Amino acid sequence: MYVYKYPRPALTVDCVIFGLSENENALKVLLIERADEPFKGMWALPGGFVNMEETLDQAARRELEEETGLKNAFIEQLYTFGDPDRDPRGRVVSVAYYALVNLSQHSISAGSDARRAEWHLVTQLPPLAFDHHLIFCTALKRLQGKVRYQPIGFELLPEKFALSQLQRVYEIILGKELDKRNFRKKILSMGLLVELPERQKGVPHRAAKLYRFDKEKYRQLESEGFMFEI
């Protein structure tokens, strides 16, 4: 069993980058228009080959940054897709990641390498290249599952947010309406939100209190066995 005598699949990372469009109240995904064959002209998830000297996480972050300019977004490995004929060019195994970014504070550029990158509503995706539709569905399911028992909803919001914004995040991801009073009670009772002195500005109605998520406190509570749950 010697490492070098075996043929090797090519190895890539693909990223499902979720963004929250707050004005449209919708969840979006960043897609790239393919410039080359195969699937030339089709939409695809951003991705690329893993360099020999970088970790998989680094490869995924590199892709994320190339496409969005973001360096510190939430990112997590999703699943590895390795069907032998998922790529017509040959055996390509892809480690998929998903990322959560706050769409409203970043005008995503067109992509560093001049590929056309656009945000698409998750409810109206065009046909995708390769098995990217499968990857996307896997990511969405994971997001919907994870958002209920881990505090990742915050990752889609700016650092300072109002409770109604947070509630909307959950409603959008879970696809159902939540009761305002119950939601506030629940989320505030966890003691993970810090009320800020500021308030919303420039809204044509009563300005909401702003909060931030207390990551430190969460880490501490978590280590004591606390379980976040919506």
Give the torsion sign (CA, 142, 147, 149, 152).
Answer: positive
Q: Which does 185 bind (CB under 5 to 8 A by kind): a second copy, DNA, none?
A: DNA
DSSP 117-155: EEEEETTSPPPBSTTHHHHHHHHHHHHHHHTTTSS-GGG
- Give the Cα separation of 195 and 184 in Å (integer): 13
Burial 121-139 (b: 16+ CB within 10 A, else e): ebeebeebbbbbeebbebb
Positions in 154-173 near DNA (CB under 7 A) = 162-164
Among 8, 89, 176, 206, the residue binding DNA under the rule CB under 7 A is: 206
- The yes or no reply on residue 114 touching a second copy (CB under 8 A) is no
Q: Element (H or E) spanning 168, and its range?
A: helix 163-174
- Give the Cα separation of 84 and 81 in Å (integer): 9
Q: Select 10 or 110, whichever has its Cβ closest to a second copy.
A: 10
Among 1, 107, 202, 204, the residue binding a second copy under the rule CB under 8 A is: 1
- The yes or no reply on residue 196 touching a second copy (CB under 8 A) is no
Among 7, 127, 197, 204, the residue binding a second copy under the rule CB under 8 A is: 7
- Give the Cα separation of 218 and 64 in Å (integer): 26
Residue pair 141/190 in contact by the 8 Å Cβ criterion: no
- The yes or no reply on residue 35 touching DNA (CB under 7 A) is no
- The yes or no reply on residue 181 touching DNA (CB under 7 A) is yes
> 3: Cβ–Cβ under 8 A, 6 or more apart, which residues?
none
Binding mask 31-60 for a second copy (x = CB under 8 A): -----x-----------xxx-xxxxx----
Binding mask 59-78 for a second copy (x = CB under 8 A): ------------------x-
Smallest separation, CB 86 to DNA (Å): 39
- The yes or no reply on residue 129 touching a second copy (CB under 8 A) is no
- The yes or no reply on residue 134 touching a second copy (CB under 8 A) is no
Partner residues linked to 33 by β-bridges:
43
Please report, as ranges, the residues that interact with a second copy according to CB under 8 A. Answer: 1-4, 6-11, 36, 48-50, 52-56, 77, 79-80, 82-84, 87, 89-93, 95
